[in-house]
Structure 1
Amino acid sequence: MNQAETIRAVAESAEVSHAEAERVLKALGFVAQAHLDADEIVLPGIGKLKASPRAGRTGRNPKTGEPVAIPPSTTVKFSAAKALKAAINL
């Protein structure tokens, strides 16, 4: 599903307008960006988003084979809820 299809599906499922569904989904994105660094975000029936630190490491340039320093960073990990796993494993 692309963004427009997701907004349309949420609007139909929640019986709200297209504009209202779009505002809610955008607000969810802003909330996740603002709070993910301190907390995990629980999406009921879907799963959890959690910030996870990634250590720095040495990689290789695929073209030249030279070592390249990859700095430490933070990534987002998703863990699916039981309900979501059950829904896709019918």
Structure 2
Amino acid sequence: MNKQELVSAIAEKAELSKADSEKALNAMMDSIKESLVKGESTQLIGFGTFSISERAARTGRNPQTGKEIQIAAKKVIKFKAGKAMDEAVN
């Protein structure tokens, strides 16, 4: 499912216009992004939790040349599915 298909599904289920559904979806995504930028996690009960994790710097290897390279430390976004979501899928 892509974003436009998701907007259409939200519009149908919530009985909203596609424009209002897209505004709501964009607002939700922006709010989650702002929370993660601040270093906070976002927990949606029954759906899952978005959080930030630190990945340490490490030495990697270029697969084409075999030469060692340094991979910089960075923050990564993690998503852990909630119990209800996990049970629905399984």
Q: CA deviation at 1:43?
A: 2.3
RMSD of aligned Cα (Å): 1.1
Runs of 4+ in 1 over 6 A off after TM superposition: none
Q: CA deviation at 1:69?
A: 0.5
Does the residue aligned with 2:64 lie in a helix, a strand or coil? coil
Write the distance in 2 (CA, Å) between the matches of 1:44 and 1:25.
17
User: What does the per-residue CA deviation read over 1:11-50, in whole Å, with 9 as the maximum and x for residues that have no partner?
Assistant: 1111111111101111112112211132111123210000
Q: CA deviation at 1:10?
A: 1.1
Pairs within 5 Å for 1:7-86? 7-37=7-37, 38-86=39-87
Letter matched to residue 34 of structure 1: E
Letter matched to residue 12 of structure 1: E
5+ residue gaps, structure 1: none
Letter matched to residue 48 of structure 2: G
Q: Number of residues paired by the alignment?
A: 89
Letter matched to residue 8 of structure 1: S
Distance change (3 Å), C-alpha of 1:76 and 1:70: same
Write the distance in 2 (CA, Å) between the matches of 1:87 and 1:71.
37
5+ residue gaps, structure 2: none
Percent of aligned positions that are identical: 40
Write the distance in 2 (CA, Å) between the matches of 1:40 and 1:55.
20
Write the distance in 2 (CA, Å) between the matches of 1:44 and 1:52.
20
